Chain A
Amino acid sequence: MAATGLFLCVFLVEHLYTNLHLYWGDGGKEFNEMSHSMVHSIFIRIVEVVLFASIIIHVVQATVLTKKNSDARPVKYAIDGASMTSSWISRNMGLTGSVIFFFIVVHLYNFFLPYRITGEVGHDGQMTVAEKCAEALGNPVYAGLYLVAVIIMAYHISHGFASGFQTLGLNNKKYTPIWKMVSNGFAILMGLGFASFPVIFYVAKVMGKDLLHWNM
């Protein structure tokens, strides 16, 4: 869980960095070029395989873990005071993870599938990837789902990131507070960064502004 989770965190940084290019206002040129060069980079293709494998391993491990852990207490407490001794998110990683997983599937269906598999987007004479993003994020249902998923993801990371270091044995009196701080900071940064896309793109759409081309 720790290794795959931390790898997925690294991926998020890269994903956010790429997405931020949507704000360049160059008609999505930079963003489209980045997407294009990624598809044609052998290195990125290998990382992509590792990424998909990580997601699947993370999900499978989480499912097995949740099942085992629930089996470890066949008779539950009539009064369970866990909320007095631990944080909500630490006890609900399975639930929040499921929401994130559902979102990832929708997200892949919206972007990965048309661009990479069916070839409906991003090729000559078609809508560019950036335009597809602007279109999807202008849809209130998708933008809403995106926003909710991202907030939940930030919560998930706030526990998961620090937890990963504990599992890898990298905690002690000196490092634990640092990891916790880094973990929360990272979660907030990722949360705000990704939440900005549905909010800004949707608001731009409502106001009738063409966000992709503001700089041209």
Chain B
Amino acid sequence: MSTPKISVRDVEKIFPVGNEEFVALGGVSLDIADNEFVTVVGPSGCGKSTLLNILAGLEKPTGGTALVDGKPVSGPGPERGVIFQQYALFPWLTVRENVEFGMRTAKVPGDERRRAEHFIRLVGLEQFADALPKTLSGGMKQRCAIARAYAVNPSILLMDEPFGALDALTRVRLQEQLLETWSKDRRTVMFITHDVDEAVFLANRVVVMGARPGRIVEVIDVDLSYPRDEDMRLSPEFGALRNRVWHSVYHQRQIKEPAQ
């Protein structure tokens, strides 16, 4: 097999908290193949964001290495797009200007306007291209953030609970749209969530993490074909996988740590 797109080798992250040390990640290893869609679930505080930030180049691991295309990550780079839970749109720029921001800074070749237009259409925001973020709903903001990330043409998308702040219905719609966009325009995706349904619905593989120390508990393959739709969500196969992931996420204490 060729080198994995993303390779996390014994990554450790220790935060100093006062005079103590807090182990946010205690030796995490994970390979993600090119064009794979991997979701990461786990209880809050288990180091999901920390892992993503390390891959994004926003934080440095205190041990181990994170490799992208076989090269160690040494900072943010245009081949890795990041989508944050809080949208992180520049509120003083319009939708179009937000999408163009990255193209300009990352010096994406070609006609900026046309490309921006393309990605704005891809996420269905063409009628709001000249609107300021404050006039958009949460779902629209996140779609704009997705267009902005896509516009830089990254081969990897790192998404940190992107739909976490949205209502259930918007969430499901955006999941379907994301898969649609992804199937039209494949990238390697690492998608963090705390929603088990979301994790199973989107992924080729679900990575279950646990806390104290942050670690990978289990990796579960999702043998469901794409495209995925509502019927799939209601199928017994989906239900069985969801139960398995759910169990792995919410009963890890009892399994791993017997009562003291």
Indicate whether A and B interact: no
